[in-house]
């Protein structure tokens, strides 16, 4: 296994743009927010975790990749809030799909800081509005 594999910034940007293209393969990508322990990886099915909220991304989920120095940065376009949360719980992770009921593309952690997806609060109450104000992903280079 490689121990010191590096890619250029240009390749990192191409990979970030390819991620966006994969996510945008459906009608509009969605972000599902769950409680409990995050799945082992994005290929692992959701188990007993409770779906707390589902938010819809823009038809083009992220803008074009830019140089994050180091790495490539993609910033989400507008994300439509969930006007009525599915359940009450503490958000701990999210999964991104090409569309409702679509293909899983990625997942990550949720928190108020030091997480992949930052929210104002991770305490979600059934029927409440759930919003994401900003979301960025960095593709590593080096």
Lookup: tokens for 114: 């030091």
pTM of the full predicted structure? 0.93
- How big is the CA angle at 140 (ends 55 and 47), to the nearest 5 degrees? 40
Give CA–CA dist 61/53, Å, rounded. Answer: 18
What confidence score (pLDDT) does residue 142 get?
A: 77
SS3 content of the chain, % helix, strand, coil (to 5): 10, 35, 55
Q: Give the least confident one: 2-6, 85-89, 137-141.
A: 2-6
Domain ranges of the chain: 9-139
pLDDT at 2: 63
pLDDT at 78: 94
Task: Convert the pLDDT of each residue in 100-137 to its tens digit.
Answer: 999 999 999 999 988 999 999 999 999 999 999 889 99
pLDDT of residue 1: 65
């Amino acid at each position: 296994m490689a121990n010191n594999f590096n890619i250029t910034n240009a390749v990192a940007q191409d990979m970030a743009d390819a991620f966006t293209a994969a996510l945008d393969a459906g009608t509009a990508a969605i972000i599902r927010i769950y409680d409990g322990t995050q799945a082992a990886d994005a290929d692992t099915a959701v188990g007993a975790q409770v779906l707390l909220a589902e938010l819809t991304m823009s038809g083009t989920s992220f803008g074009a990749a830019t140089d994050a120095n180091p790495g490539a940065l993609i910033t989400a376009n507008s994300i439509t809030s969930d006007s009525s949360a599915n359940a009450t719980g503490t958000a701990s992770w999210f999964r991104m799909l090409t569309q409702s009921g679509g293909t899983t593309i990625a997942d990550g952690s949720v928190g108020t800081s030091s997480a992949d997806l930052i929210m104002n609060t991770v305490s979600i109450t059934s029927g409440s509005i759930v919003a994401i104000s900003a979301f960025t992903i960095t593709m590593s280079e080096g």
